Structure 1
Amino acid sequence: MTASVVSIRDISSKSDSVQEIAFNKVGQIRAINRRMRILALNALIEAERAGEAGRGFAMVSQEVRGISEEVEKLSTALEAELASEIGEISSLVQEMSQSSQGQRLVDLALNAIEIVDRNLYERTCDVRWWATDSAFVDAMAAPDEAAFAYAARRLDVILRAYTVYLDIWLCDPSGKVVASGRGDRFAVTGADVSSRPWFRTGMGLRTGDDFHAEDIAREPLLANTAVATFVTPVRTGGEADGRPIGLLAIHFDWEPQSRAIVEGVRLTDEERAVSRVLIVDRDNRVIAASDGAGLLTERLPAFGGPQAGWQVSDGRIVAQHVTPGYETYRGLGWRGVIEQRLAADKPSATVTPLKRSR
């Protein structure tokens, strides 16, 4: 927990203590007052028995009884006013606590999506750089089996160093995979991928500085594994303005990499037990979850509103931050989301308006 949250908890604890002490003392005053009323009543009875001799004592008893009634009214009013004021303080403290925690979760959600952005930015650099490799340029300029075999060996070398990738494919202009780096694991050479959305988009990119990043999808040719695919054309001479003569597709192994990010968010052990950290795409589809549930199947309600914010809904604080992008990678509209259950003594059945993050 941050220092500010701890301080607010201290205030809340002190507020509860003040309420308990105040109500206890008021209760003691009322108990004493009840004893006074009983004594006054007994004294009045004895005064009546004494007749004329007890008349003065009866007047004192009646006065004591009157004072007792005033004290009872005062203690009742004091208890009601204390309850109201302390209740307002408790509500303000709870609101401050939720606001502080909501902002903190927004910051953590931002940190998570920023790590994703920086990671994927590096993938965009990789694909644009590797597409200029002479092994791939030559294989596409003068296609034959020997050139394809050499390209496959070159891809294998890259994959041994860059273990975050599941596979890399070199495709000809018709969409046929002519070389891959992990032919021993995935029999993709000769496969037709022209129907993949990333292929059509990738071949239409204008320069070697451009790239296409596809949303997370399961790739049937890679054992239905969830991948983030990045593509750019291989161009004549490896030049940025060269004619597209093929396509390089790199498949980022999404699940283990994203799991490390959402599980690595800096929550306390107490928070972790009641929290769920998510990465959600622009269609509100869960693409990473700290509890491993709902990957590519669960959809969250549309959050709407500002780029960053939080709200309380059904006993949870839900905080989010939309991707800010990084360098030339502007992001795909993804967002980091953190859901955290509130303590049972802090009910929140209704949905609060979205709070804009600072």
Structure 2
Amino acid sequence: MTPTIIASHHSSNAAESAEDASPERIADLADSLVGKMSRASTEISRINDRTRLLSLNAQIEAARAGGPTGAAFGVVASAMQDLSDKTSQVAGAMATETTEANKALRQIIQVLTTNVRGLRLSDLALTNIDLIDRNLYERSCDVRWWATDSSPVAALAEGTPEAARRCSQRLGVILKSYTVYYDLVVCDLNGRVIANGRPDLYQSVGADCSQDAWFRTALATRSGEEFGFQSVHASPLVKGERVLIYSCCVRANGDVGAAPIGVLGIIFHWDALAQTIVENTPMSAAEKSGTRVCIVDDAGLILADTQGRQLLDRLELPNSSKLAGENKGFTQMTLNGSDCCVGYAVSPGYETYATGWRSLIIQKLDAKTS
């Protein structure tokens, strides 16, 4: 049965079609409200200026009229002047209080926006690395199982070309069912490849793997219940493709407790898993344009990357000590002159397996998130 690489996420269509209640939308509404209040205050001031002018003209006319009529008219003019002064005070206070309230609101929204964005990015980062761990757990199971298969056991025990040919055929049958692998190889105790599952594609028989990490770590295991491993690298066994290799000692008679007689290596198609996951992180096209999604090892080497820098760069983040002590979270930092929010998550492991790697999502703060 072919194992399925899990690399899907829930659709964002529902979220995109829902009413927009994002912090950014709230900020826009707050700005709109302040703008309306400002225009209203300006209109009040304009009307108040006309009232002042009318009051002044009334006072002049009252003085000209003189007598009781002028005095009465002067009282009305004076009342209009007092009303204008009070209106001006109220309008000024309203403008000041609105500005101060909006400033405080903007600060709250900025914190809210950062928290909402950061939590979402860290959740997505955790989902990505968890998917990788869950898929790679199966690889550690596969190699321990296939190392007990009778074909590699016979090929190593007999040491004949015919036994190697049968082993190659058997490995080819396995590869037809498990399409996540480039190839499967069997080495003798000297590290020489004696059989592989796809000899038509990869002419690896005779290759010396004695110094490769996957071979050496397998030989260091104490039983067939343990496995060896080599992290992401470009493998000459499969024409330089980026791979992970899991390995396990093939032991006498297929007995997990017996002495080693060789090593089985399974060559996993890394990009088909990791690049699929990082490139399909659920974001809109506009958001993705301002976002970098990657997987790094414990030394910062980029293993998967939406910017295509796999195995070419190490990702050195300023103030990375903030990220060191937590398994999941987010922080803000300046990268290449841009203010960014970085969501991160460390490999949580699955069952008995954990890569120990870190998932990072780096998003410019001016990136659209809807």
Judge same fold: TM > 0.5, yes or no: yes
Q: Is the 2:218–2:229 Cα contact (8 Å) retained in structure 1?
A: no
Aligned residue among 299, 306, 312 for 2:326 = 306
Q: Normalized against structure 1, the TM-score is what?
A: 0.87
Q: How does 1:1-358 map to 2 (within 5 A)?
A: 2=15, 6-9=20-23, 11-49=26-64, 54=70, 57-58=73-74, 60-291=76-307, 293-300=308-315, 301=317, 302=320, 303-313=323-333, 314-329=338-353, 331-343=354-366
Q: CA deviation at 1:229?
A: 0.9
CA offset digits 1:256-280 (Å, max 9, x no partner) = 2222222232224443343332222
- Cα distance between partner residues in 1 of 2:251 and 2:19: 55
Q: Normalized against structure 2, the TM-score is what?
A: 0.84
Letter matched to residue 332 of structure 2: V
Q: CA deviation at 1:281?
A: 1.7
Letter matched to residue 39 of structure 2: N
Q: CA deviation at 1:190?
A: 0.9
Q: CA deviation at 1:125?
A: 0.7
CA offset digits 1:205-247 (Å, max 9, x no partner) = 1111111232211113322111011111111121111111111
Task: Name the SS of the counterpart of 1:214 in structure 2.
Answer: strand
Q: CA deviation at 1:63?
A: 4.7
Unaligned runs of 5+ in 1: 347-358
Task: Name the SS of the counterpart of 1:188 in structure 2.
Answer: coil
Q: Is the 1:317–1:340 Cα contact (8 Å) retained in structure 2?
A: yes
Letter matched to residue 233 of structure 1: C
Percent identity reads 37
Q: CA deviation at 1:50?
A: 5.0
- Cα distance between partner residues in 2 of 1:228 and 1:189: 19
Please give the root-mean-square deviation of Cα atoms over the aligned residues, in Å.
2.6
Q: Is the 1:282–1:332 Cα contact (8 Å) retained in structure 2?
A: no
Q: Is the 1:5–1:101 Cα contact (8 Å) retained in structure 2?
A: no
- Cα distance between partner residues in 1 of 2:75 and 2:332: 61
Letter matched to residue 332 of structure 1: T
Unaligned runs of 5+ in 2: 1-11
- Cα distance between partner residues in 2 of 1:281 and 1:42: 81
Q: Which moved more, 1:17-26 or 1:243-252?
A: 17-26
